[in-house]
Amino acid sequence: MVRKIRVKAPAKINLFLEVTGKRPDGYHDLATLFAGISLADELTLAKTEKPGIRLKVVNQADLAGLRAEDNIVYKAAAAFFPAFKINPAVEIKLVKKVPAGAGLGGGSSDAAAALKGLCKLYGVDPALNRKKLKAIALSLGSDVPFFLTGDAFSFGTGRGEILKPVKAKGRFPFIVLVYPGVPVATGPVYRALSPSTRREVSSNLKKLRLLIKALEAGRPLKDWGVLLFNRLEEPVLSGHAAVRLAKERLMEAGASAALMSGSGASVFALAETRFAASKILKILKKPGYRVFLLNFC
């Protein structure tokens, strides 16, 4: 019987994000293209003799002052055990590498990794319990269902939880990711959105379909880099000078394409070659920035 397990929790970027409407429940409807990336947190889960859930977080500078019980990993475990009628007796260690408040889905991925790890640890078959696990995932956050699928690329609608895998192929570009050290809260970003016309949204959704087709056809970056879009960029770039400056620097450094991920504050550049990406990375390294050279999953 498995007593201990280690699980990776990869981050994501949004290659496209359009807000298509506001829902009666207060959330917004989205059309987005998720892409998993190689930056990842790591969870170690171990069964213990002592009842309860214990969580230890390493490298939690971004989460300073957050009680263990308020961490999304703890909440995932607290939802898992009663759902499957299992008495909790587990110790979880979370090693953080993904910045918090960065639009990278770090917390959401941690929650999904915790659910996957607990399934393996306690012999719960994810395939037979897909509906129950997805319901738990969605109760924890809109991005958690994407990470639960394990898909590298996925087209998301609804809150982002209605997912369709995108079978991207070909040689993917390198990613230079910059976190400018200023976390951005999601709620205020959505509240600051300017209304979009139906024509504008419809035009953008056509671009999204073209982007997905290009990825599935294995087209090079030069054919689809111009299609990247994020509706949330406008309010964030106008309200957060550090994020705006980071994106400007990426473009000045020679990025083929650059975009903010999710609701920020991370911005990323795409480059065809490792040499070009390394050159951008070197230019962007400065005090206060966390810069990563990454791959798509």
Q: Which residues are catalytic, by number?
A: 12, 143
Give the residues across from 271 on adjacent strands: 174
Helix ranges (H only) for the chain are: 72-83, 106-122, 130-140, 144-149, 186-191, 198-216, 221-224, 233-239, 241-252, 274-284
**Using an 8 Å Cβ cutoff, are 245 and 289 in contact?**
no
Q: Which amino acid is at 285?
A: K
Query: Quick one: angle between helices 106-122 and 72-83, nearest 10?
Result: 30
Q: 21 is written with which tokens?
A: 């409407």
Asked whether 253 and 279 are in contact (CB, 8 A), the reply is yes
Tokens encoding 166: 């995108």
φ, ψ of residue 83 in degrees (nearest 5): -60, -30
Q: How many angstroms separate the CA atoms of 145 and 111, rounded?
A: 10
Distance CA 16, CA 262 (A): 9
Calpha distance 283→279 (Å, rounded): 6
Neighbours of 149 (CB within 10 A): 16
